[in-house]
């Protein structure tokens, strides 16, 4: 008997958007309730609305979405001075200005970097990937380059490695390497896998060496390479797969 074609049945709009790689279902629902999704030219905000991919045209912010479209993940070399959010009610500079959010309406930052921290920041429309990378029990390694105030002692370096008592508990052991030190400042690299707010800054402050400059150089297996500051690029399929299979702790 001839093989039958797969039957595509009408599906809820948020499921369609998730399958097309626009965003996770929950974020797709947010796009709908915000009035950013249209079906055949009509705004659709009802979460129970359905779409037939064979005949209906779906757009998000005016951009047509098709099931042949897949999720996208990009890398940004974030400069200092930008907050990690896709919009800001106070008009502050945010990372959405640096990435193609108009082309990929469901794009969201995977984690965050402080306003005064530069370096590697990932964005994705793949909610499953983002959640797996940020899950509290399975954070991947992140490498930071820090310039700290004063001549850091061997004792302080060892405390950073062993774990620092913060107000939200003792940090997990970190891999810490001394790069250089002088009376005025020291440079170190730290590899951590937790994702606490301003963790590296709080760790260094706790051992008596406030951070002067902080840069994230690596996220899991990915490095910035020669990506200029303020620029972004799309990850290759191999790079996305390397993230999916990155060792978890």
In this structure, the answer to whether residues 146 and 210 fall within a common structural domain is yes
Q: Which of 56, 114, 116, 154 is catalytic?
A: 114
Per the structure, the count of domains in the chain is 3
Cα separation of 120 and 100, whole Å?
A: 16
For the chain, what percent of residues have pLDDT higher than 90?
66
* Structure token digits, residue 241: 């797969």
**What kind and span of H or E run contains 15?**
helix 13-19
* Structure token digits, residue 218: 């690596």
In this structure, the answer to whether residues 205 and 146 fall within a common structural domain is yes
User: What's the domain range around 18?
Assistant: 11-65
In this structure, the answer to whether residues 88 and 57 fall within a common structural domain is no
Of the pLDDT bands very low, low, confident and very high (cuts 50, 70, 90), residue 3 is very low
In this structure, the answer to whether residues 153 and 57 fall within a common structural domain is no
In a domain, 249, yes or no: no
Task: Find the range with the poorest average confidence among 22-26, 83-87, 146-150, 201-205.
Answer: 22-26
Average pLDDT over residues 165-176: 95
In a domain, 230, yes or no: yes
In this model, does residue 5 exceed pLDDT 80? no
In a domain, 2, yes or no: no
Residue 69, C-beta contacts closer than 8 angstroms, at least 6 positions apart: 20, 21, 22
In this structure, the answer to whether residues 149 and 201 fall within a common structural domain is yes
For the chain, what percent of residues have pLDDT higher than 70?
93
What's the predicted TM-score (pTM) here?
0.77
Q: What is the CATH number of the domain that holds 115?
A: 3.30.70.580
Among 21-25, 86-90, 226-230, the range with the most confident prediction by mean pLDDT is: 226-230
In a domain, 4, yes or no: no
In this model, does residue 249 exceed pLDDT 70? no
In a domain, 86, yes or no: yes
Q: Look up 69 and say whether it is catalytic.
A: no
Read off the DSSP letter of residue 83.
B
Residue 73, C-beta contacts closer than 8 angstroms, at least 6 positions apart: 122, 123, 124, 125, 126, 129, 234, 235, 239, 240, 243
Task: Find the range with the poorest average confidence among 1-15, 68-82, 120-134, 150-164.
Answer: 1-15
Torsion of CA 108, 114, 116, 117, to 10 degrees: -80
In a domain, 158, yes or no: yes
In a domain, 15, yes or no: yes
In this structure, the answer to whether residues 80 and 25 fall within a common structural domain is no
In this structure, the answer to whether residues 212 and 226 fall within a common structural domain is no
Task: Find the range with the poorest average confidence among 43-47, 63-67, 201-205.
Answer: 63-67
Question: For 106-146, what is each residue's pLDDT tens digit?
Answer: 789 999 999 999 999 999 988 888 888 887 666 789 999 99
């Amino acid at each position: 008997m001839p093989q039958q074609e797969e039957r595509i049945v009408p599906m809820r709009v948020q499921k369609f958007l998730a399958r097309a790689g626009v965003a996770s279902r929950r974020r797709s629902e947010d796009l709908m309730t915000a009035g950013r999704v249209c079906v055949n030219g009509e705004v659709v905000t009802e979460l129970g609305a359905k779409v037939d991919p064979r005949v209906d045209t779906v757009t998000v912010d005016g951009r047509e979405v098709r099931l042949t479209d897949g999720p996208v993940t990009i890398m940004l070399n974030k400069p200092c001075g930008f907050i990690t959010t896709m919009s800001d009610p106070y008009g502050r500079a945010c990372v959405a200005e640096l990435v193609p959010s108009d082309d990929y309406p469901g794009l969201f930052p995977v984690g965050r970097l402080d306003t005064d921290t530069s370096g590697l920041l990932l964005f994705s429309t793949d909610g499953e990937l983002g959640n797996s990378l940020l899950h509290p029990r399975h954070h991947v390694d992140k490498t930071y380059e820090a310039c700290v105030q004063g001549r850091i002692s061997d004792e302080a370096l060892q405390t950073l490695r062993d774990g620092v008592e913060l107000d939200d508990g003792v940090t997990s052991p970190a891999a810490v390497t001394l790069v250089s030190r002088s009376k005025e400042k020291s440079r170190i690299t730290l590899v951590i896998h937790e994702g606490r707010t301003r963790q590296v800054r709080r760790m260094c402050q706790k051992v008596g060496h406030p951070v002067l400059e902080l840069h994230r150089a690596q996220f899991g297996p990915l490095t910035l390479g020669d990506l200029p500051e303020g620029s972004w690029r799309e990850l290759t399929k191999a790079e996305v797969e390397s993230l999916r299979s990155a060792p978890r702790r």
